[in-house]
Amino acid sequence: MKSPRFASLLLLLLTSAFTMSLLAQTSRDEWLTYYEKSGYTETPRYDETIEYCKRLDKASAWVKYTSFGASPQGRKLPLVILSKSGAFDAAAVRRSGKAVVLIQSGIHSGEIDGKDASLMLMREIAITKKLQALLDNAVLLFVPIFSVDAHERFDKYNRINQNGPEEMGWRVNAQNLNLNRDYMKADSPEMRAMLRLFATWLPEFYVDCHVTDGIDFQYDITYGAETSKNLDSRLYEWQQQELLPHALRTVEQSGYKIFDYVFPREENDLRKGLSSGATSPRLSTGYAAIQNRPSVLVETHMLKPYRVRVEATYHFLRGMIECVNATSKQLLKAVREADQATIAAGAKGNAVLPVKYKVSEKSVARKFLAFESKLEPSEISGAMKRVYSKISNEITVPFFHDVQVIDSVRVPFAYLIPQEWKFVREILDVHGIAIERLKQPLTIEVESYRFADVTFRSRPYEGRHGATYTAELIKEQRLYPAGTLVVRTNQRAAKVVAHLLEPKSADSFVAWGFFNAIFEQKEYAESYVMEGIGARMLAEDAKLKAEFENKVTTDTTFAKDPDARLNWLYLRSPWGDPWLNKYPIGRVADAASESALRDVLGRK
């Protein structure tokens, strides 16, 4: 028989355990997110989100709430930093040897799953401490809402293809710009702030959370990761051998289905195959790749219930951060070596940078968890419509993901940029590019480009009338005055520099339409003046005459246009503008020119 004292002690222990459990439950209830309190169907507004983040800051020494810029409508762009050591500035974190992970949600604010997943994840790290190990070897930067003005364009009709939340934000910012097309040209205030944040922290790993549109299938969540063709080989190895195996396994063990982010080769027949390729640097993961940073695009499936999407995102983020912690030394080493390789290649002037890709016809067989569907005639569109059922259909499809480089540029030692093109300096600066200036004039042989066959978009795309053209590489002596900008490529962000300054890149300043003024002719000859001058030119230059007669013979439109014929001669006369259709930026591409530039800059 147990003594009364023992019974009293047992009762006390049970009571204490119950009290502790009750307190823990009460504490957790106090920290339920708006999404959880709603029954997993709603997402909080901007003010409610910021309030929760500030509560985290106040409650935990591991959390700092701040902002990294402002939107066009004046809202602050929120940033929450989680650091177990209490180091909340980039320089201190870099000295600590911990890997930095940047997790971004709401670049398209109708696709807001990542925000609610991130709020829960931050709570479990800093408040309940259930996931505190995620800060052992990493510092986490959370941007819960990136496109904040779009987030507050709140409505239940913003995403016709999407199953919840009950209300959500809009796709593009207040200026009608898609932020996930703006990483290179940086037209929006939000993106300029993000690029400064990126350049300050240089996160070792970047995550961008979205929701898909597109075909229906069984998977709850999909992901995109860059390829061996546009991501440094060391980073690609870490991504493929460490990150993805662990993170995908985490999602699947949590009860969710995950697959690659893919596009059907033929919309109405999945058996023709699925495709995935390299991403343009105007997009988040493509930008991270040219910054020598691995990244993952998270795309939950639009038709899955909101709770399924948020929970799947939560576990995917958890799995990725777990891997970063477990392999932080390997990741930091790979990033450091990738940056060093970029710097060394710029110093040698021998880097070859791919700028255009295609997915080849080579494929592998993959199992794909589809839904049965059929085609039926549509009385509305007049086309055949795809009708999906919820009957599971496991099929084997060809998967096309063999990426081939179809165009490259050789990156020069440096670029010389006349100072009048101020926008170049402004945008390079937000990308964190080091820029010098000539303190005295320099006459130097450079490579540059002459453009022909120039056409422009008839309608704007992301606010710009981009240009298409052919570009001929030319060499010539040029005088660059004092004040000319000098951008050397022996720096870690040299790939960003080249993509912006090389016209072959689809994300170059020229392609986006920043340099359209160089294609405008500003002086013309009166026809009665040019008739006499033109006749003399043809009489005195047999080669010019043969070229002119050949164009008249082969180009019927030109032959029938008197003004075009006279202007053709005017442009080849001594009065023609030698800078028309010519790129003002020079490439310092050979050793002699690079040596002359170094002498002027006072470099050894």
Residues 466 and 280: their CA atoms lie apart, in Å, by 16
Pairing of strands 274-275, 263-264: antiparallel
List domains and CATH numbers for the chain: 44-347 (3.40.630.10), 366-405 (no CATH), 411-521+580-601 (no CATH), 527-571 (no CATH)
Residue 26: the pLDDT is: 54
Range 557-578 average pLDDT: 97
**Angle at which helices 306-326 and 244-253 pack, to 10 degrees?**
140
Question: Which residues make beta-bridge pairs with 10?
Answer: none
Residue 21: the pLDDT is: 52
Cβ atoms of 507 and 500 closer than 8 Å: yes
> For residue 163, which of 218, 209, 111 has the smallest C-alpha distance?
111
- The helix/strand/coil state of 553 is helix
- pLDDT surpasses 50 at 531: yes
Whether the CA torsion 315, 321, 324, 327 is positive or negative: it is negative
Residue 555: the pLDDT is: 97
- The helix/strand/coil state of 277 is coil
Tens of pLDDT, residue by residue over 508-521, are 999 999 999 999 99
- pLDDT surpasses 90 at 104: yes
Residue 27: the pLDDT is: 67
310: how many CB neighbours lie within 10 A of its CB? 27
Of the pLDDT bands very low, low, confident and very high (cuts 50, 70, 90), residue 603 is confident
- pLDDT surpasses 80 at 13: no
Tens of pLDDT, residue by residue over 54-84, are 999 999 999 999 999 999 999 999 999 999 9
Owner of token pair 């303190």: 439
Tens of pLDDT, residue by residue over 269-328, are 899 999 999 999 999 999 999 999 999 999 999 999 999 999 999 999 999 999 999 999
Q: What does the mean pLDDT of the chain come to?
A: 95
* pTM over 0.85, yes/no: yes
Residue 7: the pLDDT is: 61
Range 537-546 average pLDDT: 97
Q: What ranges in 457-561 are assigned the alpha helix state H?
A: 494-501, 509-512, 527-540, 542-554, 556-559
- pLDDT surpasses 60 at 16: no
Residue 23: the pLDDT is: 44
Range 454-471 average pLDDT: 97
